[in-house]
Chains A and B, each alone.
Chain A
């Protein structure tokens, strides 16, 4: 009975999905007139970035992204303050096998390169500072879970984090100095689809990538150290 109901439900759902998607014109411009259409149409000429999502996040509402970065920073600080005990802690005693250790040594640089690629090419391909930073932190997580004594210096991490955050704010202030508003794009837009295009967008995303990567790595290190 349940199976019949499930098949029936899938059939009805699929029929309506098909009926909706049948009416959509495929590959036609101005699919959505109004605000979304305007963004799609003007983004490349106005911001120089071919990735519309990135141009909206970093350019049109860059101030909001600064707020998001601050929220992440506060979350990391609060979590460290809660978990800090005044004593040096270690990771759990379970040891990873030889295969995992050797494999993670091979994969770690590849993952770091992929993360750097994702945030450097944020204005050209899907992804950006937050995603690239998360990929870098996942590379460090791989090392943490395979090597019990793998050590990262929290002083270096917090230095990287604060430098990257300051770079973001300074880039915004430069807009105020040489332009009219905070976070205004003061650099040449360049040729679309090239690496050096999009004005301030790649610089801001590189800073965000470093910041998010350092923050999440410190957070994971703090959370994994549970044994005294």
Chain B
């Protein structure tokens, strides 16, 4: 039983490490702030959670602690990157040149229109 858990933990940790590597690669290679932030947040959240939960599976007595850490990362990482991305949008950092969709701008316009209508 423990043997199976240990191998499963190794697999999960390896997946997490691969995602962490891809996240680092994305931060180096992506063209603008928002795409870099996406690579540095989505990939590293999954990677860190995978690595930590994998270690918890290898050592079942740590599983409770590691899942608390994973929960903390799942909460804090998206919130902080959301705040950073929103801040950089508000101070006017441009989206990369191949701009086709800017959902946040559309949403802001919609809110403004509704406020004017009221």
Query: How far does the alpha carbon of A99 sit from the alpha carbon of B86 in the complex, in Å?
Result: 11
Query: How far does the alpha carbon of A27 sit from the alpha carbon of B83 in the complex, in Å?
Result: 44
Which chain A residue shows the least CB distance to B76? A107
CB proximity to A under 8 Å, residues B25-71:
none
Tell me whether A97 is interfacial, beta carbon within 8 Å: yes
Tell me whether A96 is interfacial, beta carbon within 8 Å: yes
Contact call B72/A103, Cβ cutoff below 8 A: no
Contact call A100/B72, Cβ cutoff below 8 A: no
Candidates A97, A99, A104, A110; contact of B72 at CB < 8 Å? A110
Q: Is the interface of A mostly helix, strand, loop or mixed?
A: helix
Contact call A100/B76, Cβ cutoff below 8 A: no
Residues of B with C-beta under 8 A to A110: 72
Contact call A100/B83, Cβ cutoff below 8 A: yes
Residues of A with C-beta under 8 A to B82: 97, 99-100
Tell me whether B75 is interfacial, beta carbon within 8 Å: yes
Query: How far does the alpha carbon of A99 sit from the alpha carbon of B83 in the complex, in Å?
Result: 8
Which chain B residue shows the least CB distance to A146? B83
Q: List 10 A-B contacts (CB under 8 A).
A: A97-B86, A99-B79, A99-B83, A100-B82, A103-B75, A104-B79, A106-B75, A107-B76, A107-B79, A110-B72
